[in-house]
Amino acid sequence: MNYLNQAITWLNDPLNWSNPGGLTDRLQEHLEISFWAVLLGCAVGWPIGIWLGHRGRGGGAVITVANLTLALPTLALLTILPLTPIGFGQPPVIVALAVFAVPPLLANAYTGLRSIDPETREAARGMGLSGRQLLWQVELPLAVPYLAAGLRTAAVQVVATAALATFVNGGGLGEVISAGFGLGINVGGGQIVAGGIVVVLLALAVEGLLAIVQRLVTPAPLRSSRRRRVAAATPAG
């Protein structure tokens, strides 16, 4: 595993971390882009999913949206959006990533509200709750585990996909990898592998962290081994 040794050597050089455009900078960019993309995705996906789930309609539309984004290459959105009025820089990258964060958020929110026992809903109505009260006091609290599951899937997806921003000079950890390819395999091999390792570790860390969050917000009786992640995560990219 010679190439792994090169990667470790590269990671051990403090300059590779602290240089302008080094790992620390890139990591920060990566997290910034990911944060705003997930936030934007939540702002779009959750209200729509919750509303559709509350009304009990549009299940077909949710599935269609999820399937359509599966066929859409990230690279296409990343290259097309900067040429629209959004302009260059981080905004188009954030929007592109948010597009891929919406389906899991939307689908999980919808499923979360749909999977509430109809009897619970009826009991709440019988107690005199209005539609708005029903949503805020009964449905949303019960759907929180699903919302958290959607957030986890979406966040991991975004963090993984943000590496592709390098294709359009959008920053992030992908820059480390493509800079390595720019040097050529022989010279930059260690850097390429090191970049890959850091991106993998970051994705796994986000996955682990949000798994803990998901467990914390799920009331104990609802914690079962049953998989809650509705929309299967799509391979990033």
Partner 1 sequence: MSFLSWVPAAVPPLAAPADDGPGNPWFSWQYVRDNADTLRTALEYHAGLTARAVLLALVVALPLAVLAYWIRPLTGPILALSGVLYTIPSLALLALLAPAVGTTSDTSVLIALVLYALLVLVRNALTGLSQVPDEVREAASGMGYGRFGRLLRVELPLALPGIITGLRLATVSTVALVTVGSLIGQGGLGDLILGGFRNNFYKAEILTGSLLCVALALVLDLALAGLGRLLTPWTRGRVA
Q: Which residues bind partner 1 (CB under 8 A)?
A: 3, 67, 70-76, 79-80, 82-83, 85, 156, 159-161, 163-164, 166-168, 174, 177-178, 180-181, 185, 189, 192-193, 195-197, 199-200, 203-204, 207, 232-237
Q: How far, in whole angstroms, is CA 59 from its chain's centroid?
A: 22
Indicate the residue among 56 and 237 with the shorter CB distance to partner 1. 237
Q: Closest distance between partner 1 and the C-beta of residue 227, in Å?
A: 9
Query: Which DSSP state fits 13?
Result: -
Closest CB to partner 1 among 124 and 156? 156
Nearer to partner 1, 106 or 168 (CB): 168
CB of 120 to partner 1, least distance (A): 28
Quote the least distance from Cβ 138 to partner 1, whole Å.
32
- Of the pair 43, 201, the CB lying nearest partner 1 is at 201
Measured from the CB atom, the residue of 22 and 196 that comes closer to partner 1 is 196
The tokens of 151 are what?
A: 């957030």
Nearest distance in Å: CB 110, partner 1: 19
Distance (Å, rounded) from C-alpha 64 to C-alpha 137?
A: 30
List, as one string, the DSSP characters of 156-220: HHHHHHGGGGGGGT--STHHHHHHHHHH-HHHHHHHHHHHHHHHHHHHHHHHHHHHHHHHHHS-G
Dist CA 97 CA 101 (whole Å) = 6
How far apart CA 133 and CA 117 sit, in angstroms, is: 17
For the CB of residue 44, give the shortest distance to partner 1 in the complex, in Å.
21
Tokens 């999980």, located at residue: 108
Residue with Cβ nearer partner 1 (39 or 185):
185
Q: Other CB atoms closer than 10 Å to residue 230's CB: what's the count?
A: 21
Nearer to partner 1, 62 or 193 (CB): 193
- Straight-line distance from the first to the last Cα atom of the chain, in angstroms, rounded to the nearest whole number: 27
> Shortest approach of partner 1 to residue 122 CB, angstroms?
30
How big is the chain, counted in residues?
Answer: 237
Shortest Cβ 232–partner 1 spacing (Å) = 7
Q: Are 45 and 105 in contact (CB under 8 A)?
A: yes
